[in-house]
Amino acid sequence: MEPSRQEFRDAMARLGAAVTIVTTDGPAGRVGITASAVCSVTDSPPTLLVCMNRNSSLNPAVQANGVLCVNVLPGDAQELSNLFAGFTGADQVARFAFGNWSSLVTGAPALEEAVAAIDCGVEEVVEKGTHSVVFAQVRAIRLGAQRPALIWFSRNYHPVGLPG
């Protein structure tokens, strides 16, 4: 028997994941959302996989702009994560008013305070169920200060990593 949607969601809640803000900028606009469905695919060429809900504001913008930046959040960035997750009701312009933003190679917004900012070009998009699975080739990386990162585990935030 196939597991229920709730059983699957409960199992995934027990799979800790880095909390990131995925951003894009270009002709389709400047957009960013909080995401935890990000992982490495290969280091040759350096490639990430980013899953986005088809209904998210980020999805059409990333596909039209062809670029994205994965900003790995530090352990103390829960408020920023909530802002980009849409929990505050802030629009895209208001979201980018918080934090310090620059860009690397592609023009996608890179958070200065990020543990790592990974700037990518979109290589391929696969549609699966409710999500778009984006394969993105890394074009540039900026490593931030070594400090704890933010993870999402058991439906809550947790700092993890170096003692802080």
Return the sign of the alpha-carbon dihedral for residues 162, 141, 144, 70. negative
Cβ neighbourhood burial of 130 (10 Å; 0-12, 13-18, 19+):
exposed
DSSP structural state of residue 74: B
Q: Model's pTM, two decimal places?
A: 0.95
Give the contacts of 164 (CB within 8 A, at least 6 positions apart): 75, 147, 148
Q: Where are the domains of the chain?
A: 20-35+59-154
Q: Which residue has the higher pLDDT, 1 or 127?
A: 127
Residues 69 and 22: their CA atoms lie apart, in Å, by 6
Is residue 63 within 8 A of residue 111, CB to CB? The reply is: no
At residue 164, the pLDDT reads 47
CATH class held by domain 20-35+59-154: mainly beta
Average pLDDT over the chain reads: 95
Q: How confident is the model at residue 82 (pLDDT cuts 50, 70, 90)?
A: very high
At residue 162, the pLDDT reads 76
Q: Measuring CA to CA, how many Å separate 92 from each of 81, 95, 99?
A: 13, 5, 13
Residues 103 and 67: their CA atoms lie apart, in Å, by 12
